[in-house]
Structure formats: C-alpha cells, structure tokens
Amino acid sequence: MGKIKQGILGGFRGKVGTVIGSSWNGISYMRGQAQSVRNANTPAQQAQRAFFKQVQELTSQLSDEQLAMLFPSVTRGMTRRNMLTRQLSACHDYASDVKTFNLSLLEGIGNGERIDTPMLTLTATSIGSPANPVTGIVIDQTVVASINKPASACFSVVAYNLTQKKITVFNTSFSDSNANLTVETGSFATDGDNIRCYLTYQYQRRGGFGTLSIANRPERDKEKKKKS
C-alpha cells in the first residue's frame, strides 16, 4: 500500500488504487498500473535490449569522480550517468536492419569546455622491459604540442578500447608539451587492442580543485545568475 506523506499534492511511493507513485533523481512522479504486459521477445526487441545492455555496461565502467570531471554541469532531471548514457546511445549502427552498438562512432563525451584536440587511433603495445612487461599507448609529441594548455596543466587521456568495448579516463602527472606522452593502460588493454582516444588536460583552480576542459562551456547555473 502506498502512503502519501505531504498531503494530496505531495509525492508518494507505492500503489494507491491503480496509481503507482515513485521518485527518480529527486523528482516525484505517478503512473497508471499497466492493464496487461506484452513481451513478444521478437528478434528486434532482443537486439534493442542487447544494444542498451552494452551502453549500460560502458557507463558503469566510469567512476563518479570521472563522471564529475567529464560533466562539470548537470542537466536538471538527469544524473551524470544518464547524460553519458544519452551520448553513448547515439553511437548506433545498423547491420541487416538490426540496431547495433558501434563505439568507434563516439567522438567525444562530456559537457565541459571544448579544446582543439584530434581523435587518435592507436594500438596498445608493450612499453616495458622483458623483466617488467607493461602494456600502454604512446601519443606522438606533435599531437601533444598541438594541445593549447596552461604550461603547468597535466594531460589526461579519454580512451575507448574498441577491441574489448571499454571506456576510461587516464589522468597523468605529465605536463611537458615537448615530448611523447606514454600512458600505461593496465588491465584496460592488452597488446594489440585498438584504442581510440583524445587528449585533454586537468589544471588547478582556487582551492586546488581539478577539472577537465573537453566539450562545450556549460552555462552558469540559474541560481548563480540571480545572485550575481
């Protein structure tokens, strides 16, 4: 049985008659109870479910901290993971009229400040020694130098593993624009994996807060506009 805690105009959880109340992301809503449920489980439905399963598996690979770096501002009514899901869902292709997920179509994620950075296609390879084998990627100095960043800012790499269908952000302590950037990939990749990636950077602001510059400059919050 549902219980209304704030009077007839308030939100509630549970079932009241044929109405079901719930809350998502701090927003209360009501929906009618379904009269019947039809699940034909057709090939098209199976393909659609498989598509969104791949999207959800990717979104779960990023931590809340990484999401906060990639999405400095949040759209009202959505979480950062919801926003990433929407961006990833645009990476679809069709094979024999069946919708499939294609990570290679993803050009960038997030909604921070955009910087001029090319999308790279690299191959994960051994960058260690025989005694200490390490897998990683190497970004050429010409690309590193093309990123217009503050001198003290450290590079970050947003990477997509096309072979294993993984996604992550590598934050480095490397700030030299006059040398190759070598990134150890750890368990993210093995030798021979195809990696698409792009460079961005993190820099210190007042209070030591680190952020990323990667997409469009977010609009100021409405409340901040009122106060200013």
Q: Which residue has the higher pLDDT, 115 or 144?
A: 144
Banded model confidence at residue 203, pLDDT cuts 50, 70, 90: low
Say what the pTM is.
Answer: 0.71
Q: Which strands, in side-by-side order, build the sheet including 181-184?
A: 125-126, 135-139, 181-184
Banded model confidence at residue 86, pLDDT cuts 50, 70, 90: very high
**CA 93/CA 101 separation, integer angstroms:** 6
Q: What is the DSSP letter of 217?
A: P
Give backbone dihedrals phi and psi of 181, rounded to 5 degrees, phi first: -105, 120
Banded model confidence at residue 100, pLDDT cuts 50, 70, 90: confident
